Amino acid sequence: MRILDTTHIPFNRPYVTGRELDAIAEAVSQAHLSAGGSFSNRCRALLEEVLNCPMALLVHSCTAALELSALLLEVGPGDEVIMPSYTFVTTATAFALRGATPVFVDIRPDTLNLNENLVESAITERTRAIVPVHYAGVACDMSALAQLADAYSLALVEDAAQGMCATYNGQPLGTVGALGAISFHETKNVTCGHGGVLVVNDEQLMTRAEVLSDKGTNRSSFFRGQVDKYTWTDVGSAYALSDLAAAFLWPQLQESASITENRRQLWNEYHSGFADAEREGLLRRPVIPDGCDHNAHMYYLIMPDRAARDRLIAELEQARINAVFHYIPLHSSPAGRRYGRTHASLAVTDDMSDRLVRLPMWNGMTPALIDRVIDAVVKTLGRSLRPMSVPVR
Ligand SMILES: Cc1ncc(COP(=O)(O)O)c(C=O)c1O
């Protein structure tokens, strides 16, 4: 018998609505388990409605959506793609796989998103695309980035892995650039274990996106009766999500608004719980700029320095609370150095990566658990930290 440890607060627990198994049973009874079944079609239609986009292709991961983006844009050796170093590894591997060079640009100290003011100086005659990452489901400055992309004829590909149900000036994340990639990995707000969606906003890319995601064939046109047989027409791979996984996703997508609302309440609880500590200069809380409606994907704190961050994580572990740091910047990794290029200083990236701690955050966490985390953090601050002589930036 498995004994549940009720005193331990995990960093993440995938949310389950309770209707997933029924949906999977329905998919099984329909005898269509691979991609393109009824649940895939329902999820796609709902996503296109919620995101208000012309095409939402269900794929097996956000990584697949990013790789499809690189294929669609035909980036290759000699091309450069601008992105933050402060991101998940597949933002970069998707483009490095095609032989393109990720060019790492520093982030903003407030949102930890790509610093739009530094992007123009990183553009060369080899630049093909800008890939902003909406960290923690808080939007990048998409107006500034879209203007740059227009001015230099570059593609804008949003890594909105963390951005489901978040908006920028009212527009869903993933729908501002030519292409957007969203994740349904188990760590994300809405999940099917591992899945994702490629949001195709540039209508000129739609037909090819469908072909590339379906092993380079025009099978979708065949099923719509637009061609009398289907055949190999282009490069591609098996990127589409299985209908079994889409069945799991379906009830989650239907509940996405209430999932977001619930997470926001938890996020707000954390935020008000740390207001005094921020006022006293002991830590810094997340910043949400005007126009960004975030999705409470994560709650993090910025500590005064790395030692304070490491001490906090260790002391929380003692209190049976699992908190983690985030990300080790890509430019400092062996493959980042081999395949990427650093543009100017990445001082903010290095600094934030040293000081950030992510707190447990999952749908189903109770206010009592949030309070336990807040109390444990505040206790640690009182015991081991001195207020900074300058405010924590
Ligand atoms: C910013 C970012 N990009 C890409 C990914 C990859 O998503 P997936 O696991 O769905 O492939 C993640 C996943 O954590 C992410 O956070």
CA 114 from centre of chain = 14
> Alpha helix (H) ranges present in the chain?
20-29, 38-51, 62-73, 89-96, 116-119, 142-151, 206-213, 219-223, 243-254, 256-273, 275-279, 306-318, 334-339, 347-355, 367-384
Quote the radius of gyration of the chain (alpha carbons, Å): 22
Cβ atoms of residues 57 and 209 within 8 Å = yes
Whether ligand 1 lies within 6 angstroms of the CB of 88 is answered as yes
Give the per-residue pLDDT at 253: 98
Give the per-residue pLDDT at 329: 98
Cβ atoms of residues 129 and 367 within 8 Å = no
Average pLDDT over residues 3-14: 84
Whether ligand 1 lies within 6 angstroms of the CB of 69 is answered as no
**pLDDT tens column, 219-253:** 999 988 999 999 999 999 999 999 999 999 999 99
d(CA 173, CA 252): 18
DSSP per residue, 226-284 = SSSS--B-S---B-BPPHHHHHHHHHHHHTHHHHHHHHHHHHHHHHHHTHHHHHTTS-B
Is 368 within a domain?
yes
Q: Which of 88, 95, 138, 158 to mutate to test the pocket of ligand 1 (most atoms within 8 A of CB)?
A: 88
Is 223 within a domain?
no
Q: Give the number of the atom of ligand 1 that is nearest the alpha carbon of residue 195.
A: 10
Q: Give the number of the atom of ligand 1 that is nearest the alpha carbon of residue 65.
A: 11
d(CA 184, CA 382): 38
**pLDDT tens column, 11-31:** 999 999 999 999 999 999 999
pLDDT band at 382 (very low <50, low <70, confident <90, very high): confident
Average pLDDT over residues 287-295: 98
Residue 380, pLDDT > 80, answer yes
How many domains, the chain? 1
Q: Which of 183, 239, 326 to mutate to test the pocket of ligand 1 (most atoms within 8 A of CB)?
A: 183
Residue 384, pLDDT > 80, answer no
Is 369 within a domain?
yes
Expressed in percent and rounded to 5, the helix, strand and coil fractions of the chain are 40, 15, 40
For residue 91, report the distance from its CA to the centre of ligand 1, in Å. 8
The secondary structure of residue 120, as a DSSP letter, is G
Q: Give the number of the atom of ligand 1 that is nearest the alpha carbon of residue 162.
A: 16
Whether ligand 1 lies within 6 angstroms of the CB of 83 is answered as no
**Burial of 388 by CB count in 10 Å (0-12 exposed, 13-18 middle, 19+ buried)?**
middle
Question: 133-144 burial by CB neighbour count: b if 16+ within 10 A, else e?
Answer: bbbbbbbbbbeb
**Burial of 261 by CB count in 10 Å (0-12 exposed, 13-18 middle, 19+ buried)?**
middle
Pairing of strands 299-302, 171-172: unpaired
Cβ atoms of residues 200 and 55 within 8 Å = yes
pLDDT band at 390 (very low <50, low <70, confident <90, very high): very low
**pLDDT tens column, 96-105:** 999 999 999 9
Whether ligand 1 lies within 6 angstroms of the CB of 86 is answered as no
Whether ligand 1 lies within 6 angstroms of the CB of 90 is answered as yes
* Enclosing domain of residue 285: 256-384
Is 147 within a domain?
no
For residue 285, report the distance from its CA to the centre of ligand 1, in Å. 23
Give the per-residue pLDDT at 196: 98
Whether ligand 1 lies within 6 angstroms of the CB of 61 is answered as yes
Average pLDDT over residues 133-144: 98
Is 318 within a domain?
yes
Average pLDDT over residues 305-323: 97
Give the per-residue pLDDT at 259: 97
Is 339 within a domain?
yes
Average pLDDT over residues 148-168: 98
Average pLDDT over residues 31-50: 96
Whether ligand 1 lies within 6 angstroms of the CB of 113 is answered as no
How many other C-beta atoms are found inside a 10 Å radius of the C-beta of residue 68? 26
d(CA 41, CA 243): 9
The CATH number assigned to the domain holding 290 equals: 3.90.1150.10
Give the per-residue pLDDT at 39: 98
**Burial of 366 by CB count in 10 Å (0-12 exposed, 13-18 middle, 19+ buried)?**
exposed
Give the per-residue pLDDT at 274: 97
Residue 389, pLDDT > 50, answer no
pLDDT band at 383 (very low <50, low <70, confident <90, very high): low
Nearest CA to 372 among 380, 385, 15?
380
Is 354 in a helix, a strand, or coil?
A: helix
Residue 391, pLDDT > 50, answer no
Is 286 within a domain?
yes
Q: Which of 113-122, 192-201, 206-215, 222-231 has the lowest mean pLDDT?
A: 222-231
Is 149 within a domain?
no
Largest CA distance in the chain: 73
Whether ligand 1 lies within 6 angstroms of the CB of 60 is answered as no
Residue 6, pLDDT > 90, answer no
How many other C-beta atoms are found inside a 10 Å radius of the C-beta of residue 232? 11
Percent of the chain at pLDDT > 90 equals 94
pLDDT band at 3 (very low <50, low <70, confident <90, very high): low
Computed over every residue of the chain, the mean pLDDT equals: 95
Average pLDDT over residues 60-73: 98
pLDDT band at 285 (very low <50, low <70, confident <90, very high): very high
